[in-house]
C-alpha cells in the first residue's frame, strides 16, 4: 500500500510540475509575444466557454491544441475570428475551411489557414477553472510557494 501511495504521489507531482511549467511558459509567451493562446513546443490550451461543440466538448473543458501544417475535414480546430472559436471543419474550400459547432444549426464564415491556431488533440473535462486560476500570475506564484512550503514541511517531518 505504501508503494502504491508513493507512486501516486510521484504521478501527481509530475502532473502538477508539468502544468506549472507550461503555465509559466505560457505566461511568458503571453506577455513577451502578446499571444492570446500561447503555444509552447507547438502545443497550447484553451478553456471552452460555450456549448457550441456539445456533446463532444462541454463548457469548462480544456482543449489541448497542436499547431499543424495541414488540417482535414472532421478535425476539431481552434481558430481566431473576432474571438477564439473551437469548431469542427466540415468542408475544405479553395481559400480555406468551413467550420461548424456540433451543436449549431449553421456553418461559420469561411476561415483561412492563417486564422487557425491548432487542432484539438486532447480534451480534458471540467478543469477549465484550474487553468484560469493558474493563468493568473499572482495565483501561480501562490501555488508555487505553497508547493515549496509543502516540500519543506514534509522534509522537516521526516527528520523529526
114 and 94 in one domain? yes
100 and 46 in one domain? yes
Q: Among 84, 72, 94, 97, which residue's Cα sits nearest to residue 37?
A: 84
29 and 44 in one domain? no
Nearest-angstrom CA–CA distance, 78 and 18: 22
76 and 102 in one domain? yes
159 and 115 in one domain? no
Q: Are 39 and 22 in contact (CB under 8 A)?
A: no
103 and 55 in one domain? yes
107 and 157 in one domain? no
Per-residue pLDDT of 33-49, as tens digits, reads: 676 777 778 888 888 98
Provide the pLDDT for residue 137. Answer: 85
Q: Are 52 and 101 in contact (CB under 8 A)?
A: yes
Total domain count, the chain: 2
Nearest-angstrom CA–CA distance, 97 and 117: 13
Residue 151 lies in domain: 1-35+137-160
Nearest-angstrom CA–CA distance, 85 and 118: 11
pTM of the entire predicted model: 0.70
Provide the pLDDT for residue 30. Answer: 66
Give the CATH number of the domain where residue 107 resides. 2.10.109.10
C-alpha distances (whole Å) from 8 to each of 5, 15, 50, 128 are: 5, 11, 34, 23
Give domain status of residue 131, yes or no: no
What's the CA angle centered on 93, arms 117 and 108, to 5 degrees?
Answer: 60
116 and 85 in one domain? yes
75 and 64 in one domain? yes
Average predicted confidence (pLDDT) for the chain = 87
118 and 41 in one domain? yes
Give domain status of residue 132, yes or no: no
Amino acid at each position: 500500500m505504501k508503494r502504491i501511495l508513493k507512486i501516486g504521489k510521484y504521478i501527481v507531482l509530475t502532473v502538477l510540475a508539468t502544468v506549472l511549467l507550461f503555465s509559466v511558459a505560457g505566461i511568458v509567451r503571453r506577455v513577451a509575444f502578446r499571444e492570446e493562446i500561447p503555444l509552447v513546443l507547438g502545443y497550447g490550451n484553451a478553456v471552452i466557454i460555450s456549448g457550441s461543440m456539445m456533446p463532444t466538448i462541454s463548457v469548462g473543458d480544456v482543449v489541448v491544441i497542436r499547431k499543424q501544417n495541414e488540417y482535414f475535414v472532421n478535425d476539431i480546430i481552434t481558430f481566431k475570428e473576432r474571438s477564439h472559436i473551437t469548431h469542427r471543419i466540415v468542408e475544405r474550400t479553395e481559400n480555406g475551411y468551413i467550420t461548424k459547432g456540433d451543436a449549431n444549426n449553421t456553418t461559420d464564415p469561411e476561415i483561412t489557414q492563417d486564422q487557425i491556431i491548432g487542432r484539438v488533440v486532447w480534451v480534458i473535462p471540467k478543469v477549465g477553472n484550474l487553468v484560469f486560476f493558474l493563468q493568473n500570475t499572482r495565483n501561480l506564484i501562490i501555488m508555487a510557494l505553497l508547493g515549496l512550503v509543502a516540500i519543506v514541511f514534509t522534509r522537516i517531518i521526516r527528520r523529526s
